[in-house]
Homo-oligomer: A and B are copies of this chain.
Amino acid sequence: MKSIHDDTCPSFEGTLELIGRRWTGSVLQAAAQGARRFGEYRALIEGISDRLLSQRLKELDAAGLIERTVIPTTPVQTRYALTPDGHALIQALLPLARWSMRRTGPRGARRVPSA
């Protein structure tokens, strides 16, 4: 049988911790859905605060998964677009998303227990 061990490395934990932060999955989803402007992300992610959205976008930018571009109009526009790496991550996340859906049903009724 194929083991996860064959394909992992010390940074795997780091990746999990990055995308495991609250809202990060939703931010990636929003990006995959085409969100580009700050307000678009905010509209797609129900319940997130400005502060955390800003923080998550900053983290994903630092990780090279999205790219922040400031367009000098008045007022300035800011775009957050997926990088190729970010796109690849989305693809790599699909099996996990399917696994989640299979476990909890398409409507995701319950939450995975955390303790």
Contacts and interface: CB of A to CB of B under 8 A. Distances in A.
A111 interface: yes
Nearest to A24: B16
Dominant secondary structure of chain A at its interface with chain B: helix
Categorize the interface residue count of chain A. 35 or more
Contact of A113 (B63, B93, B113): B63
A7 B104 contact: no
A2 interface: yes
Interface in A66-115: 85, 88-115
A7 B98 contact: yes
Given A11-B108, A112-B15, A97 B58 contact: no
Interface string A1-44: 01111011111111111111111111011001100000000000
Contacts of A85: 103
Nearest to A14: B112
B26 A97 contact: no
A59 B113 CA distance: 7
Contacts of A52: none
